[in-house]
């Protein structure tokens, strides 16, 4: 028995499943107090299914709270940004290209230290104990406890970050520390940014986790709770306290995983049509295709794993305007969002939305159809054609090649698509498509990922891949995976021709079933 909940910007979706059987599901408007919405969703699941709370074995929650905190510049802590890369890494300081509003909230508490290593393992400079002492004294005087530590090429040699983290933890036991090699990949500026964002969320993450645990306790649900990551896997509650930034973009990822489960397809295009946007992603072996581009979160460049998602301004609440001068329609980009039930014509409002068009066309029976009976049929058909064409164009851009692919439509707004999509070899609308994101959360496994640069001249290829796989497996186990269930889902090898010794970047991703929850410690931070 699992409960999956996905908290979106417009709706909160919830589902109760027993293995592959869906026992209950519901969709409600997201409340300003997210935990209240979660409690209400759970209440309705248990009430409708007649299942007792003590029968629930796990609860999985996908939340946008951490993303919203960065975007809205709220609930962020002051952070000490420490870079170990001098003397070579001093020209461009941490947060140099950040938007001024978020930089001022986090504070420009920057510390530059000697040390770090180059890609070939040679040291940049020896550590300077006096620099470290002065830095710790400064942290104590400023009472800063959220700390991000980054060193040059730390994904290849994390020792400088680990050693400094232990020194700071000893001097400041209450410190919340993020080490950049734990969250980002090669590229110190973007990896450093990801670590700083994560550190700024650590205090808030603790509050969010406690609120969710309290919400479950009030419902007498005592099973483990997990939070969705943005790669389609889960984190235990304790792991979320350390890496809240890994939840960024977890909503679309849950939808892709749910679409795969509902359709039985491992490779396909998924279009999740919500109240405000349509998120288009690609399923690759049952998991979301990851983006190879630099991803901006709240205007900050990062390089940690993120799903490759194309967001299109089309959803159930999208506003549709008739341009009287040209007799043409303008679809979006504005949306009434969660106010659809107040502003949409079918609900007695005054705004023409995509949902009104769907009801007028007979694609849905929600609301009051009489309120849209006055819409001319040619306007309705023109709007449907434009909405379908908008999706078709964006789906075509997301395909891995020129060949048509199966397209899975999910989300509450999937009713908006009625015409032919040329980029699709077939179109599937599986049962329970409206709560695919909650299903994706409910079925998710625990994941781990590791990246390293190794020379096949110095270490045999099989041994190198085994080494990186073990690192990824260790990460999954710490996140709560059962060690005996771990399997490799993706291996990526990229030759680096401009480096000596035939260097190759190896990235390995693994997943495993839920096991014993990770019990946080500071041994390796």
Domain definitions of the chain by residue range: 76-200, 444-512
156-193 pLDDT, tens per residue? 789 999 999 999 999 999 999 999 998 887 788 999 99
**Phi–psi pair at 40, nearest 5 degrees:** -65, -40
Residue 438 has pLDDT above 70, yes or no: yes
What does CATH list as the number for 76-200? 3.40.50
DSSP β-ladder status, 79-86 and 109-114: parallel
268-302 pLDDT, tens per residue? 999 998 888 888 999 988 888 888 777 888 889 98
**500: confidence class by pLDDT, cuts 50, 70, 90:** low
**110: confidence class by pLDDT, cuts 50, 70, 90:** very high
Least confidently predicted of 32-41, 232-241, 432-441, 452-461: 32-41
Least confidently predicted of 114-128, 313-327, 376-390, 475-489: 313-327
* CA atoms of 202 and 205, how far apart (whole Å): 5
pLDDT of residue 519: 38
Helix (H) / strand (E) element for 240: namely helix 237-242
Instruction: 162-169: list long-range contacts, CB under 8 Å, 24+ apart.
Output: 162/524, 162/525, 163/127, 164/82, 164/84, 164/113, 164/132, 165/525, 166/522, 166/525, 167/132, 167/136, 168/136, 168/139, 169/522, 169/525
7-16 pLDDT, tens per residue? 876 678 899 9
pLDDT of residue 472: 92
Query: What is the DSSP secondary structure assignment for residue 309, as one 8-state letter?
Result: -
Max Cα-Cα span within the chain: 78
Q: Cite the DSSP H helix spans in 274-376.
A: 340-343, 354-360
Size of the chain in residues: 525
Q: What is the pTM of this model?
A: 0.79
Residue 406 has pLDDT above 70, yes or no: yes
Query: What is the DSSP secondary structure assignment for residue 483, as one 8-state letter?
Result: G
* CA atoms of 368 and 363, how far apart (whole Å): 13
**524: confidence class by pLDDT, cuts 50, 70, 90:** very low
- Mean per-residue pLDDT of the chain: 88
pLDDT of residue 453: 81
Spatial contact of 241 and 206, defined as CB atoms under 8 Å apart: yes
For residue 311 the two structure tokens come to 């967001």
pLDDT of residue 219: 86
**88: confidence class by pLDDT, cuts 50, 70, 90:** confident
Across the range 499-516, mean pLDDT stands at 81
310-345 residues labelled b (16+ CB within 10 A) or e (exposed): bebebbbbbbbeeeeeeeebebbeebbbbbbbebbb
Across the range 475-493, mean pLDDT stands at 88
pLDDT of residue 9: 66
Which SS3 state, helix, strand or coil, does residue 460 take? coil
**Phi–psi pair at 433, nearest 5 degrees:** -60, -30
31-50 residues labelled b (16+ CB within 10 A) or e (exposed): beebbebbbbbbebbbeebe
pLDDT of residue 501: 67
pLDDT of residue 520: 39
pLDDT of residue 325: 60
Residue 525 has pLDDT above 50, yes or no: no
191-232 pLDDT, tens per residue? 999 999 999 999 999 988 988 888 888 888 888 899 988 877
Least confidently predicted of 1-5, 134-138, 286-290: 286-290
Helix (H) / strand (E) element for 499: namely none
pLDDT of residue 517: 43
* CA atoms of 236 and 255, how far apart (whole Å): 20
Q: How many helices (H) and strands (E) does the chain have?
A: 14, 23
pLDDT of residue 522: 36
Spatial contact of 517 and 236, defined as CB atoms under 8 Å apart: yes
Angle (deg, nearest 10), helices 159-171 and 129-142: 50
**334: confidence class by pLDDT, cuts 50, 70, 90:** confident
Q: Cite the DSSP H helix spans in 26-99.
A: 34-49, 65-72
pLDDT of residue 324: 67
Across the range 30-58, mean pLDDT stands at 86
| Closest to 116 in 3D by CA, of 79, 76, 159, 77 | 159
**Phi–psi pair at 522, nearest 5 degrees:** -110, 15
Considering only residues 199 and 513, tell me which one the structure prediction assigns the higher pLDDT. Answer: 199
pLDDT of residue 523: 40
């Amino acid at each position: 028995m699992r409960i999956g909940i996905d908290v979106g910007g417009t709706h909160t979706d919830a589902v109760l499943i027993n293995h592959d059987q869906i026992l209950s599901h519901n969709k409600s408007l997201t409340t300003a107090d997210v935990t209240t919405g979660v409690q209400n969703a759970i209440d309705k699941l248990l009430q409708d299914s007649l299942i007792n709370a003590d029968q629930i074995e796990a609860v999985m929650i996908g939340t946008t709270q951490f993303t919203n905190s960065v975007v809205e510049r709220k609930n962020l802590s002051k952070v000490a940004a420490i870079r170990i890369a001098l003397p070579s890494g001093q020209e461009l300081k941490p947060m140099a290209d950040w938007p001024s509003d978020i930089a001022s909230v986090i504070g420009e508490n920057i510390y530059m230290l000697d040390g770090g290593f180059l890609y070939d393992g040679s040291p940049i400079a020896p550590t300077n104990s006096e620099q470290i002492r002065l830095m710790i004294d400064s942290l104590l005087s400023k009472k800063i406890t959220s700390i991000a530590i980054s060193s040059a090429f730390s994904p290849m040699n994390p020792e400088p970050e680990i050693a400094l983290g232990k020194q700071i933890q000893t001097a400041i036991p209450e410190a919340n520390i993020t080490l950049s090699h734990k969250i980002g990949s090669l590229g110190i500026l973007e990896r450093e940014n990801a670590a700083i964002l994560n550190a700024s969320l650590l205090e808030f993450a603790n509050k969010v986790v406690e609120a969710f645990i309290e919400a479950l306790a009030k419902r007498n649900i005592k099973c483990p709770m997990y939070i969705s990551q943005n790669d389609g896997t889960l984190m235990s509650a304790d792991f979320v306290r350390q890496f809240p930034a890994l939840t960024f973009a977890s909503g679309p990822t849950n939808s892709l995983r749910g679409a795969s489960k509902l359709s039985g397809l491992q490779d396909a295009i998924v279009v999740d049509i919500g109240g405000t946007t349509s998120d288009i992603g690609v399923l690759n072996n049952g998991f979301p295709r990851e983006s190879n581009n630099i991803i901006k979160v709240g205007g900050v460049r990062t390089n940690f794993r993120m799903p490759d998602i194309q967001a299109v301004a089309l959803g159930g609440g999208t506003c549709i305007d008739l341009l009287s001068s040209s007799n043409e329609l303008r679809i979006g980009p504005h949306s009434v969002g969660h106010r659809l039930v107040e502003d949409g014509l079918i609900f007695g409002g005054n705004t023409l939305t995509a949902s009104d068009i769907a009801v007028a066309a007979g694609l849905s029976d929600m609301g009051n159809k009489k309120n849209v009976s006055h819409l001319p049929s040619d306007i309705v058909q023109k709007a449907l054609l434009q909405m379908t064409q908008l999706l078709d164009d964006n789906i075509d851009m997301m395909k891995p090649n020129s060949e048509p692919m199966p397209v899975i439509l999910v989300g509450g707004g999937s009713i908006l698509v009625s015409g032919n999509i040329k980029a699709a070899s077939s179109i599937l609308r599986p049962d329970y498509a409206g709560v695919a994101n909650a299903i994706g959360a409910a079925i998710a496994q625990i994941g781990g990922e590791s990246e390293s640069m190794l020379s096949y001249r110095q270490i045999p290829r099989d041994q190198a891949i085994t080494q990186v796989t073990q690192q990824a497996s260790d990460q999954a186990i710490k996140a709560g995976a059962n060690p005996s269930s771990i399997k490799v889902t993706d291996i990526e090898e990229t030759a680096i021709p401009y480096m000596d010794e035939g260097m190759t970047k190896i990235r390995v991703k693994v997943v495993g079933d839920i096991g014993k929850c990770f019990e946080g410690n500071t041994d390796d931070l």
